Structure 1
């Protein structure tokens, strides 16, 4: 599923461009998330900069509050969910999961969990950012680093934001931001920084558009915006299907049907080639969906808005659900290996189902989702209410506690 359609003469429906996104799009989702984060983190402070001197006092408080709250906002839910997942192994009679390797006692487990988390959550750590107690959350430290990049750039812009005209300021902002995108993508291996800066650029372009202050060359594209954004969306869907198997070897991409010529676009600085193509795919997607009416309407449906609201908890909870319940359900319907036979033999082939059908659409593959998906959505809703939203309120409360009390007025 991670290879291109036709790679090594293997032709699977689920590997077609666009179709494979429904099966193996986790990294594409991360890229979109980083671009959206750059946009969202920039919206309020850039709006205050554009408002001018009357909002100058609010700018400092906004950025100070955002920087203070960011670590708590990102890592408190990770702490709670990974702690509960780890505790469940020892609290429920030695429950077995494939990952990570369990410690013999709860005290040893607690120390291992603490040791891993403190390194995982350190902003300036180098090397692997993985956390074995919830390894899909590898992107959270990178999200924190990207947030610092955005706020650092915004603080630099604010220093001259109240003295230059809007046109000159936005022109210089764009040059500086584009320079950082080039730096992160073509000079150093900082693909995530490029995604955050791209989100910031999209935010500023939207602010300019609302004020009818877009640069002339962009304004002249207005008559062609419909075909332009449909083209960008189509390119996004194709690029999002970049082969993601063995992505450190460019020859794998070069030998993938439909990717030979595109492979020569990869910058030397990017070690893992998929992130270069996902950078463009994410930008094209984020910029096109709000301007294609039927796509925008789809994402504004109540269920999709619900998914957006619970998305952070869903991101953190789906792994533990798969490792505790999903693993057992797959073993029960016939997907099992030696670890299952050794550790959960009663589940192996308990309800065998057919594996006939196209790859990725077998009944044996789909059936466990009918239990895992609704349970995961419900747990994500509970996690949003119990862990995620309270972490936002706690971070706001903690920030307010650091502020100096208002001066006492003497009558």
Structure 2
């Protein structure tokens, strides 16, 4: 009871107040933690070790515990986590519009999509603007050395450069969609998140007047088109989340198409359908640990356990790992409602708290890693480019043993006694001071705009 009460204070909800999809909040939070852990693994370890973590068990004769199937998710699960983010977003963003479509409420759908579209940019980019501006200011004012981020001649120059970069980054239709923020290059996925939102809202509007079966076929066709015919696996993840949500809401209303209804309601046998969610979860975990070192499918074929699977990758896909990450994330989100024990894990107070601060955790973990993290790794003995020249007072300040399995060395784990609490504290701070106010501001602004009278000749 003590743990439950403490977790309720952390998450801001009591167990009785959990929403039916609260497990997705917990999954999002746990996925954000996997991103944090993955980035630290790659930052601390030397390129040969980092490359091994991104490859399969036995690649180039290297057999590391951290690269075992299933286990590897805990060490390099950041790619899998981002794919899960996209599926969850498609699932959650389509929830209310789909309920209105099912109810035949076209007016309500139009209002819901208008509100969602208006607020989405503010919700995603206002926290980025605030956090990167503070980071840029502290970097310039304190003169902190950060690898790959040079100091500008003046604060004014730094502000102007940051402003220009932010303008390019926040315009999601720019030609160069691979551009990143120099003050937080981990945020490449946020423009993808916004464009994925547009895919969801546009598809929902386009399919809103279709019948049930036609709408489901159109959603499935959109997923197939994005994944297999064009090089847009990221947006296929959003569309798949929308399809999963549609199916779930139809199942809850006992309105599934007959062939799906017969399949899902078939009597369960000891070795029948009851085992399907576990098998799908096992397949998801294996596929989620796909080699991610190089995008080329030919490199994937050199990884033990992935030669035959690599031939499944559609030809248009430029980055082979996203085909397997697509199926891994879809299978995870699709099977999770049917796995009560795993679902309860993501509904625990700690996972719910991580879910509440997940976006802020995603925003702050990179700056903490490149500043304090870089210095702590230098202090315990991890070598790194430029540290001996730029951080001479930190190098080998408190050397620790490098022994132990890769990814679990004492010299790697010890810094997290400091890094993890500070990162979580900053995530909580940013959530309360920036993220939640940004959501409220977007709602307030839309209500102010929407309260304006309609143009002459249009109904109120």
Q: Using structure 2 for the length normalisation, give the TM-score.
A: 0.84
| 1:199-228 residue CA offsets vs partner (Å, 9 max, x unmatched) | 000000001101111122222233344211
CA contact 1:99–1:323 (8 Å) conserved in 2: no
Is 1:179 the counterpart of 2:216 in the alignment? no
Higher RCO structure (Cα 8 Å, ≥6 apart): 2
Deviations 1:323-344 (A, max 9, x none): 1110000000001334111111
Q: How does 1:65-144 map to 2 (within 5 A)?
A: 65-92=115-142, 94-127=143-176, 128-144=178-194
Match of 1:245 in 2: 293
1-side partners of 2:451 and 2:357: how far apart?
34
- Cα displacement (A) at 1:312: 0.2
8 Å CA contact 2:140–2:152 kept in 1: the answer is no
Q: Which runs of 5+ in 1 are unaligned?
A: 162-168
Query: Residue deviations 1:218-239, cap 9 Å, x none?
Result: 2223334421111110000000
Q: In the alignment, which residue of structure 2 is the partner of 1:2?
A: 54
Q: Does 1:390 align with 2:437?
A: yes
Structure 2 unaligned spans of 5+? 1-52, 455-460
Shift of 1:405: 4.2
Q: Please give the secondary structure, in 1, of the residue aligned with 2:179.
A: coil
Alignment-derived partner of residue 3 in structure 2: none
Q: Tell me, what secondary structure is at the counterpart of 1:348?
A: coil
The answer as to 2:262 corresponding to 1:220 is yes
CA contact (8 A) 2:247 2:256 kept: yes
Q: Could you say which residue in structure 2 is the equivalent of 1:202?
A: 244
Q: What's the CA shift string for 1:353-410, capped at 9, x where partnerless?
A: 0001111111001111111011111110111000000000000111111124479xxx
Retained in 2: the 8 A contact 1:129–1:141?
no
Q: Distance in 1 between matches of 2:256 and 2:450?
A: 38
RMSD: 1.3
Structure 1 position 99, deviation (Å): 3.5
Q: Separation in 2 of the partners of 1:215 and 1:7?
A: 45
CA contact (8 A) 1:226 1:292 kept: no
CA distance in 1, matches of 2:160, 2:74: 38
Equivalent positions of 1:5-404 (< 5 A) are 5-52=57-104, 55-92=105-142, 94-127=143-176, 128-158=178-208, 160=209, 169-222=211-264, 223=268, 224-247=272-295, 249-404=296-451
Between Structure 1 and Structure 2, how many residues are aligned?
395
Cα 1:344–1:67 change in 2 (3 A) is: same
Partners in 1 of 2:153 and 2:453 — Cα distance?
A: 53
| Structure 2 residue matching 1:103: 3-state secondary structure | coil
Distance 2:115 2:167 in 1: 23
SS at match of 2:56: coil
